[in-house]
Structure 1
C-alpha cells in the first residue's frame, strides 16, 4: 500500500445538521468541530439513507441503500454475507475497529444455517457489521439484543458506580440536591445533572477508548480505520455537570412549524404527529427543558473532539489520516409538531458532514462549503479510495467524495439523493390500516424539490428553495404535478437499478465486449447457438481466426 494511511470515522447519534456553530447555530459554540471544518470541507446537503438508527448505519457500513442490504428497521438483522466496510478493508490489510455504537443485530439464524460459530473470528465479524469490536456500546439496556454486556458497565462498577444497570442508574439518570435518583428517560428531568462525574460519562470514556485503540494500532505499525461512534446526543436527554447548566431556555430556537401543518396533513405525518413523543415535543415547556440538555450533550462532544484532535496533532496523525465527522440522522425537537426522527424533513434526514483529507490535493478546498448532494453510503467508497483499495461500484452504491474534496468536478455526479423508511413496525401502520408490505416511504430530492411517496398514500412535495423550512406540502397541488411526476420517474429508475449482482464485477460482464465488435463469441468449441447453415458458421469462424491472429 505504500505510505501508511488511516481513517477516523466519527459518527454522533441523532445530531442535527444545524446544531453546530459552523452551520450557523446562534448560541451553541462548537469550536473544535468548526476547526475540523476549517481544515476540510463541510458538505451542506448530506442525506442519510434512512432516518432510523439501525438501517441508516447499515447503509453507512455497507455503502448500500436500504433496499439492497435489507435491514429495514431497528432489530432487523443485516443478513449473513452482506459485504461491509470491514470486509473491504481487511482485503487491503487495514484493521477496522468499532469504538461505540452500531445498532447492528446479528443474523443468528443465518449463521446457524451456514454453520458459523458466533464465537469464531468469522462469527464475530459477521455479528459486528464486519468491525473488530474493540469497544461496542449501543447505550441501551443490558437485556437488549444489541449489546448484552457492555464494557462500560464494568468500568462504572470498577469506579464505584454499582447497580444492576449502571448505564441507566448512574450515567443516564439525574440527581437531585439531596441525592435523589431521577429517571433520565423522563423529559421533565432533562435539566438535572447526570449522577456521574463528567470524566466517567459515556462521551469522554469512548474518546479515551478510541485513543487507546489508535495507540495500539500505531505501536504495531498497522493501517487502521477507527469508527468512533458516540451514543449522544441521542436520548436519554441528560448530561453531566457542568454541561447541564451551560444553556437555558433563552438558547432554544423557536420551533419550525405552522398551524397549517396540522390542517389536512399527509396521513403518515398525521399518524406520527399523534405519537406521544410528538405530542410532548410540541409543548414549549418540554422543548425548554430538553433542548438545553441536547445542546449540552453536543458541547461535551465538541470538547472531546478537542481532546481527540490534540492527541492526533501530538502524534502527527493529521498528516495521513482521513477524518469524517457526521451523524446517523437528526432530531425533530418539536419542529413540524414532531419528536424523534422518523419522517423526511431536513432536520431529520440531513446530517452534518465534514471531511478532512490530508492529501495536498485537497489544500485548495480547505475551509470551504460544498453544496453537492452527498449520501451516507458515500463513506465506504471514500475510505476505500483513501486507503488504496480498488473501487467496487458493483457492490458499493455510493461514490467516493474525494474528488469533490479535491476541487474536481466529477462527471455524472448524482442528481438525486434517496432515503427510505419502513414504518411497518410503528403504530402508524395500524392507524392507516395498511398491510406490512405497503408500509414503505421513499424520499427523493434533487436539491431544489423533495418528494416523499409510497404505496397507498398521497405524495408530499416541498420546494426547498421557496420554502426552506418545509412548511407547505405541495404534493397534492395540481400546479406541481409535473414536479411530482419528474421526481417519481427518477425514483422509479433508481428502484429499477439496484446493485444486486455483487458476486462479480462489471469487468466480468464486459469481458466479451471486444469480441462482440468483431465476431460472435457464441462459436466457442461445443457452443453453436442460432446459426442457420454451414456457410454462416464458416463466416464467423473465419472472423474469429482473423481476430485471434491480430492479438498475437
Structure 2
C-alpha cells in the first residue's frame, strides 16, 4: 500500500453511532462499515461541534468551533472570510469536490461588498463552502404555502427521476420520499405514520444509490490528488425507505426507549420545552417509534450496502491503495430517547458520532482494526486532511488537531482534555417556544471522559451528567449542591476554552514569533536609555553618524530665498 494521495470523505446525515454493528447495535448488521473499521481505525469518542446540520457541517468544513465561524444555525451564512478545507487543500495542491449535501448558506451580502460574483471561480467556491461542486443536493425539498424550503434542492435528482418516468412537479417528495396508497394516493413521508410503508420508488432510483453512482462516475475521471466529499442525505428524515429495506425490520427490532419518568419530571426548562413540543411528544409515543425506527434502520442498511458497492469498486479500480477513506456523521438522532426527537440537544445519542478512518499508508499498519478511546472532535478532520495533502497545518486558523499521530501509532490521544459542542436557538423555530432572548438562547456543552456539563444563559442551573456512573445520561446533577466542585472545574475549563485566541487568524504562530523581534531589527528602540540597552546590531545605524545643526540649515535656506 502507498501513502494516501486522495481522500474520500463520506458523511451521512443524522446517523446514530450506536446504530452500526461495530458500535454495538444488536440487530442492525452493517458489515461494510464494519469492514472499513477492520481496515482502519474506529474512534469511540468522536463529538460534533453542534447538534444541527448546518452549524455542525460548517465546523467540520472550516476546522473551527461554531463560536469562531459564526454560522450557528441552519440558514445563517458562513462569513465570507472563513477559510474551509477546500481552501487549505488547494493551497497544498489537492483539489476538493462535493457530491451531495453541505447545508451551507453563502454570505451574499459580504460577497457583494467585496465584489465577488457567484459566477466567478472564487465566488462559486465561496458560495459552496470551498468545494467545487459535482452535484449539490441538501436532500430537503418540501413545498409549503410560501413556496419551497430550498428552490434548488434536488434539482438534478428530480430531473433524473423524471427521466426515469416518475412524472411529478416534485418527484423527490411524491415518489422518493412518499409511499402510495390503495387508490394511488401519495402517502407523504413527512407524516410519521407513513414511515411503516415502503417508498414508492425502485430501490436503485432512491437517493443513496443515486449518489453512490454519481460519486463513482465523477471519480472515474478525477485527476489526482483529490478530496471528494461524498455527503449522503440519509438516514435523515423523511423516514421512509424503498423495498427490500422497508420490510427488513419491525417493532421487534426497536430497542427500548432510553428514558425515565424522573428524567421528564425534573428536566431542565430548555429540555422540558423540547420534550413537550410536537417533535418530542411524537417520538415519545410507542406507535411512532415502532413505525419510524424500522424505517431508519432500513435506511442505514441501504447506506451500508451502498458503501459495499463503493468499496468493491475502489478495490477493483485500485483506488483504495492510495485513498484515505473517512466515514462519519454530522450528528445523531434521539428517536424518542430522553423524551426527544430530532437532534438539537447534547446527549451522546446526538453529539457523539461514528468516525472510522482508513489510511492506506504503511505507517498506519500497526493500528488497523483497532479502537481509539481518545477525545476527538469533528474539527480534527480538516487538519488531518491538510497533513495528508503534505502541507503544514495552519494551527492559527484550524482549531482541531491532526489524527495522523494516532492513526500511525505515534500517540494514543490528542492535546485535548475536553470537547465542546454549541447550540443557538436564536433564529430557530424552537426559539419562540423557549421565549428566550437572543443571548439566553445560546447553549454550551463541555465534556470529558467522566463529566458532561451544559450551560445556558437563562439563569437556570447547568445540566450535569456523570458519564461513568450514568452513561445513558438519565440523571441531571446540575442542581445538586454535592457536585458544586465538579461544576466549578467544568466552568473553569469552559472559561479556558472561551479565552482561546480564535479570531487571530491572519498571522501564524511563527509569524507572531518573528514579529517579536522584527520591530527591533527595523530600528524601533522604544524605552532605551543608552545605546548599550540594545545589542549593537539593532542600533548600528544610530551610532557614529553626523548631522549639521538645524540653525545652519535654516540660515542657508534663508540665504537662498533672499
TM-score (norm 2): 0.92
Residue by residue over 1:520-545, the C-alpha shift from the partner in whole angstroms, topping out at 9 and shown as x without a partner, is x655565332233xxx2344253647
Give the corresponding residue for 1:477.
480
Give the corresponding residue for 1:501.
504
Q: Is the 8 A contact 1:443 1:452 kept in 2?
A: yes
The correspondence for 1:354, drawn from 356, 369, 387, is 356
Give the corresponding residue for 2:107.
107
| Aligned mates of 1:42, 1:270 — CA distance in 2 | 34
Change (3 A) 1:539 1:262: closer
Give the corresponding residue for 1:419.
421
2:463 is the counterpart of 1:460:
yes
Give the corresponding residue for 1:275.
277
2:523 is the counterpart of 1:529:
no
Change (3 A) 1:132 1:412: closer
| Aligned mates of 2:245, 2:196 — CA distance in 1 | 10
Q: Is the 8 A contact 1:268 1:428 kept in 2?
A: no
Q: Is the 8 A contact 1:53 1:74 kept in 2?
A: yes
2:297 is the counterpart of 1:295:
yes
Q: Is the 8 A contact 2:420 2:444 kept in 1?
A: yes
The correspondence for 1:187, drawn from 192, 210, 216, is 192
Unaligned runs of 5+ in 1: 516-520, 547-552
**Displacement of 1:482 after TM fit?**
0.8
Residue by residue over 1:190-246, the C-alpha shift from the partner in whole angstroms, topping out at 9 and shown as x without a partner, is 0111111000000000000001111111xxx42110100000000000001110000
Secondary structure of the equivalent of 1:273?
helix
Change (3 A) 1:431 1:512: closer
Residue by residue over 1:445-464, the C-alpha shift from the partner in whole angstroms, topping out at 9 and shown as x without a partner, is 11110000121232000011
Change (3 A) 1:318 1:540: same
Give the corresponding residue for 2:560.
none
**Displacement of 1:4 after TM fit?**
6.8
Q: Is the 8 A contact 1:68 1:498 kept in 2?
A: no
Secondary structure of the equivalent of 1:59?
helix
The correspondence for 1:225, drawn from 224, 227, 237, is 227
Q: Is the 8 A contact 1:345 1:470 kept in 2?
A: yes
Residue by residue over 1:17-75, the C-alpha shift from the partner in whole angstroms, topping out at 9 and shown as x without a partner, is 10001111010010000000000111110000000000000000000000000000000
Change (3 A) 1:351 1:545: same
Change (3 A) 1:262 1:319: same
| Aligned mates of 1:248, 1:281 — CA distance in 2 | 16
Change (3 A) 1:148 1:198: closer
| Aligned mates of 2:308, 2:111 — CA distance in 1 | 41
The correspondence for 1:313, drawn from 306, 312, 315, is 315
| Coordinate RMSD, CA, aligned | 1.8
Structural mapping, 1:135-154, within 5 Å: 135-141=135-141, 143-145=148-150, 147-148=152-153, 150-154=155-159
2:178 is the counterpart of 1:173:
yes
Residue by residue over 1:300-328, the C-alpha shift from the partner in whole angstroms, topping out at 9 and shown as x without a partner, is 00000000000110012221111110000
2:216 is the counterpart of 1:211:
yes
Q: Is the 8 A contact 1:138 1:146 kept in 2?
A: no
Give the corresponding residue for 2:548.
none
The correspondence for 1:157, drawn from 137, 153, 162, is 162
Give the corresponding residue for 2:236.
234
| Aligned mates of 2:521, 2:185 — CA distance in 1 | 82
| Aligned mates of 2:501, 2:180 — CA distance in 1 | 51
Structural mapping, 1:25-174, within 5 Å: 25-141=25-141, 143-145=148-150, 147-148=152-153, 150-174=155-179
Q: Is the 8 A contact 1:523 1:541 kept in 2?
A: no
2:494 is the counterpart of 1:491:
yes
Secondary structure of the equivalent of 1:29?
coil
**Displacement of 1:181 after TM fit?**
1.4
**Displacement of 1:422 after TM fit?**
0.2
Give the corresponding residue for 1:398.
400
| Aligned mates of 1:368, 1:261 — CA distance in 2 | 35
Give the corresponding residue for 2:546.
none
Change (3 A) 1:358 1:105: same
Q: Is the 8 A contact 2:49 2:421 kept in 1?
A: yes
Change (3 A) 1:544 1:300: same
**Displacement of 1:3 after TM fit?**
6.8
TM-score (norm 1): 0.93
Give the corresponding residue for 2:442.
440
Give the corresponding residue for 1:549.
none
Unaligned runs of 5+ in 2: 143-147, 541-562
**Displacement of 1:383 after TM fit?**
0.8
**Displacement of 1:180 after TM fit?**
2.8
